[in-house]
Amino acid sequence: MPAMAQSVDAKTNEAAEPESLTDGFHLVIDALKLNDINTIYGVPGIPITDLGRFAQAEGMRVISFRHEQHAGNAAAIAGFLTQKPGICLTVSAPGFLNGLTALANATTNCFPMILISGSSEREIVDLQQGDYEEMDQLAIAKPLCKAAFRVLHAEDIGIAVARAIRAAVSGRPGGVYLDLPAKLLGQVMEAEAGRKSLVKVVDPAPRQIPAPDAVARALEVLKGAKRPLIILGKGAAYARADADIRALVEKSGIPYLPMSMAKGLLPDDHPQSAGPARSLVLKEADVVMLIGARLNWLLSHGKGKSWGEPGSKTFIQIDIEPREMDSNLEIAAPLVGDIGSCVSALLQGIDGDWQAPPSEWTDAITERKEKNVAKMSSKLLSNSLPMDFHSALGALRSIVKERPDAILVNEGANTLDFARSIIDMYQPRKRLDVGTWGIMGIGMGAAVAAAVETGKPVLAVEGDSAFGFSGMEIETICRYNLPVCVVVFNNNGIYRGTDVNPSGGPDVATTVFVKDSRYDKMMEAFGGVGVHATTPDELSRAVNEAMDSGKPTLVNAVIDEKAGTESGRIGNLNPQSVVSKT
Ligand code: ADP
Ligand code: TPW
Ligand code: MG
């Protein structure tokens, strides 16, 4: 149907254009819809306010945020959860820049998203004559994303959106920038010609079948292993090859370690999970197969003390990005292709003459797991006042176990590190966190996208500092009445609330916040439910009620301000000064 046939001017409610004409606004919307993209996350303003209005009028879900970074984070998580690029829509220069952090973060994490920003008059921008919100946005976006495009003519919108979609989801997924100058949106063309100019992307992320000799090589290495280990990364979660990955792990009998956003790909209580024996398996394994996980800082680059003797390991790596191979050390068996195709090819090789890993290896892992789990379990049941990370997370751990389809969002330092190891996940793509950069501020954007895209209840476990980066979006959560329960782990600051100003001056220490803040009252300000919880029982009750009712809720969970450590578990990454000791 011609775009304008059904459209109305959303402000006046009158027919906007003659039926035979369309314009840039509607071509953008029609191009997205044609490609089954039906949700936009953004912040309105010149020149894209009407784009949002028209999109809503045309049946798209348009979720307006309070800040573009959170809209962008929502788009990125929508991309991770759906394998379709999430869309973030912003105004020019400042709005664009606010969204750009999220675009760069999405690209870093290999999540598909498209940042669409309005921009000012090209002629004035290029002559730097000081237009309203003047900025050469395309040039600035380019180094921070996978691809960046600008459209100057309405008849090119269809092809531009198609290019953006394909660039975002094919190969290694990532962020794409689409620059829409104000003038373009108002450009008029014949509706029929406009319709014909649209492009439906066929097979936007084609399978990439691994070469048979690469599969054979990987199988040979795997078969020679005495102490094999599989590491599952968030690429494996994204790939949605859940059944084959599980079959590969179970048929091969190889223990596996999930990276944080791959938790739940197989349930964390699976007998082959080596999660609670992480240091043992990293140190002792002789063959490590990475599936959708990079050997970056999160895995100490595959080197150093945690990896045992240098050169003691042989690596197999499955990744869609050929340049990922040998990024940090030699990959003996690179398997380039999509995870679904690679894993199913390997599965065929796990046949009759396959020998499960020696029991000395699997028994040693089980023994270490049992020891570590026992060590942890008493701490989780503690009822000390104020709560510490273990007792508060012990309560949340039980809730997630009872509600395995809930989505867990998690950020902070101690709040992140403890929650990652304490809260078991049982289903794929249920854990969303700070990702490759360890970035603070993804929380509320991720929570909104998780609720909007899946309709499932969301539990966001947030450090009090982490929460502050996106806290204003609880208004967004209330406005759309999303089933999100935010738990703020309130320890009066960043890492701890106990630091003092070393100069003895009147300012508080750099890591300390207002003591005993009541984040729960922020939620009440917007009509949500606020709860102040000081014990694990109060915390449990509040979260269970929130999950049952689906009402936007914020629980201010009071945590001992002395309990945390500097930078959580990555304090070793802080540079040391030889001069001042504070
Ligand atoms: P983690 O942080 O969980 O270790 P990373 O983000 O470092 O995971 O790694 C994810 C990897 O998965 C990236 O190298 C990316 O290229 C890869 N990847 C993403 N999707 C696919 C896919 N469908 N098939 C193969 N590899 C993929
Ligand atoms: C965009 C640096 C890492 S963790 C953190 C900061 C500021 C907050 C830790 O305090 P929180 O958690 O959330 O209260 P807890 O439980 O330890 O008290 N800016 C960005 N990203 C990062 N990672 C930082 C700053 C940081
Ligand atoms: Mg804190």
- Each residue's pLDDT, cut to its tens digit, for the chain (582 residues) gives 344 444 455 555 555 556 799 999 999 999 999 999 999 999 999 999 999 999 999 999 999 999 999 999 999 999 999 999 999 999 999 999 999 999 999 999 999 999 999 999 999 999 999 999 999 999 999 999 999 999 999 999 999 999 999 999 999 999 999 999 999 999 999 999 999 999 999 999 999 999 999 999 999 999 999 999 999 999 999 999 999 999 999 999 999 999 999 999 999 999 999 999 999 999 999 999 999 999 999 999 999 999 999 999 999 999 999 999 999 999 999 999 999 999 999 999 998 889 999 999 999 999 999 999 999 998 898 888 999 999 999 999 999 999 999 999 999 999 999 999 999 999 999 999 999 999 999 999 999 999 999 999 999 999 999 999 999 999 999 999 999 999 999 999 999 999 999 999 999 999 999 999 999 999 999 999 999 999 999 999 999 999 999 999 999 999 999 999 999 999 999 999 998 655
Q: Does the fold of domain 381-558 match that of domain 3-197?
A: yes
Ligand 2 nearest-atom number relative to CA 437: 23
The alpha carbons of the chain give a radius of gyration, in whole angstroms, of 25
Q: Identify whether the C-beta of residue 78 lies closer than 8 Å to the C-beta of residue 448.
A: no
- Report the distance separating Cα 181 and Cα 117, nearest Å: 8
Ligand nearest to the CA of 73: 2
Is residue 275 within 6 Å of ligand 2 at its C-beta?
Answer: no
Categorise residue 471: left if φ over 0, alpha if ψ from -120 to 50, beta otherwise.
alpha
Atom of ligand 2 nearest to the CA of 494: 10
Closest ligand 2 atom to residue 491 Cα is: 18
The ligand 2 atom at the shortest distance from the C-alpha of residue 466 is 13
C-alpha to C-alpha distance for 222 and 357, rounded to whole angstroms: 10
- Identify which ligand lies nearest to the alpha carbon of 302: 1
DSSP 13: -
Query: Atom 6 of ligand 1 has which residue's CA nearest to it?
Result: 109
Q: Which ligand is nearest to the Cα of residue 317, counting in written order? A: 1
Probe target for ligand 2 pocket from 101, 440, 491, 570, with the most ligand atoms within 8 Å of CB: 440
Q: Give yes or no for a cis peptide into 386 (omega within 30° of 0).
A: yes
Cα 279 to averaged position of ligand 3 atoms, centre (Å): 26
How far apart (Å, rounded) are the C-alpha atoms in residues 405 and 169? 26
pLDDT score of 12: 56
Which ligand 1 atom minimizes the distance to the CA of 324? 14
pLDDT at residue number 14: 56
Q: Are strands 21-23 and 188-190 parallel, antiparallel or unpaired?
A: antiparallel
**Token pair listed for 123:** 């002629």
Candidates 3.30.365.10, 3.40.50.970, 3.30.465.10, 3.30.450.40; CATH matching 3-197: 3.40.50.970
For ligand 2, whether the C-beta of 273 sits within 6 Å is: no
Distances (CA, A) of 547 to 395, 476, 525: 14, 18, 20
d(CA 92, CA 289): 44
Number of H helices, E strands in the chain: 22, 19
Locus of tokens 């999970």:
273
**Of 166, 194, 160, 197, whose CA–CA distance to 179 is shortest?**
160
CA of 236 to the centre of ligand 1 (A): 6
- Say whether 1 sits in a helix, a strand or coil: coil
Atom 20 in ligand 1: which residue has the minimum CA distance? Answer: 235
Is the Cβ–Cβ distance between 93 and 125 less than 8 Å? no
Which of 420, 494, 558 to probe ligand 2 with, by most ligand atoms within 8 A of CB? Answer: 494
Task: Give the max Cα distance, the chain.
Answer: 77
Distance CA 263, CA 431 (A): 7
CA 341 – CA 207 distance, rounded (Å)? 7
Mark the residues whose beta carbon lies below 5 A from ion ligand 3.
Answer: 463-464, 491
Q: Please tell me if the CB atom of residue 362 comes closer than 6 angstroms to any atom of ligand 2.
A: no
Tell me which residue has tokens 């997370």.
393
CB environment 312-340: b (16+ within 10 A), e (fewer): ebbbbbbbbeeebbeebeebebbbbbbbb
For ligand 2, atom 4, the nearest C-alpha belongs to 413
Query: What residues are paired with 529 via a beta bridge?
Result: 553
Q: What number does the ligand 1 atom closest to the CA of 260 have? A: 3
- Is 466 near ligand 2, meaning CB less than 6 Å away? yes
Q: Where are the domains of the chain?
A: 3-197, 212-366, 381-558
Cβ(146)–Cβ(176) below 8 Å: yes
Predicted pLDDT at 18 = 63
**Cα 300 → chain centroid:** 21
CATH number of the 381-558 domain? 3.40.50.970
Q: Which atom of ligand 2 is nearest to the CA of 469?
A: 1
CA of 122 to the centre of ligand 2 (A): 39
**CA–CA distances in Å: residue 560 to residues 394, 500, 510, 531:** 15, 16, 19, 18
Residue nearest to atom 10 of ligand 2 (CA): 494
Q: Answer whether 185's CB lies under 8 Å from 52's CB.
A: no
- Count the Cβ atoms, other than its own, within 10 Å of residue 53: 17
* Residues whose CB is less than 8 angstroms from the CB of residue 95 and which lie 6 or more positions away in sequence, other chains included: 43, 45, 68, 117, 133
Query: What is the fold, at CATH topology level, of the domain defined by 212-366?
Result: Rossmann fold (3.40.50)
Q: Is 110 left (phi over 0), alpha (psi -120 to 50) or beta?
A: left
User: Would you state the structure tokens that stand for residue 500, as one six-digit string?
Assistant: 């003092």
Pocket of ligand 1 (CB under 6 A): 109-110, 172-173, 233-235, 238-239, 259, 261-262, 292-294, 296, 298, 319-321, 324, 338-339, 436
Task: Count CB atoms within 10 A of the CB of residue 263.
Answer: 28
CA of 433 relative to ligand 3 center, distance in Å: 16
E strand segments, 83-216: 86-90, 113-119, 147-150, 175-181, 188-190
How many angstroms does the Cα of residue 253 sit away from the middle of ligand 1? 23
Q: How far is 416 from 343, CA to CA, in rounded Å? A: 30
- Crossing angle for the helix pair 49-57 and 24-34, nearest 10 degrees? 50
Peptide bond into 358 cis (omega under 30): no
Question: How many residues are recorded in the chain?
Answer: 582
Q: Is 299 within 8 Å of 396 (Cβ atoms)?
A: no
CA gap 256, 372 in Å, rounded: 17
Six token digits for residue 564: 């945390």
Cα(412) to centroid of ligand 3, in Å? 7
Span from the CA of 464 to the centroid of ligand 3 (angstroms): 5
Does 228 contact ligand 2 (Cβ within 6 A)? no
Among 240, 294, 328, say which to mutate for ligand 1: greatest number of ligand atoms within 8 Å of CB: 294
Half-sphere exposure of 290 (CA within 13 A, CB side): 35
Whether residue 461 has its Cβ less than 6 Å from ligand 2:
no
Phi, psi torsion values for 205, nearest 5 degrees: -125, 75
State which of 100, 437, 465 you would mutate to test the pocket of ligand 2, scoring each by most atoms of that ligand within 8 A of its C-beta. Answer: 465
CB 299 within 8 A of CB 273: no
104 CB near ligand 2 (under 6 Å): no
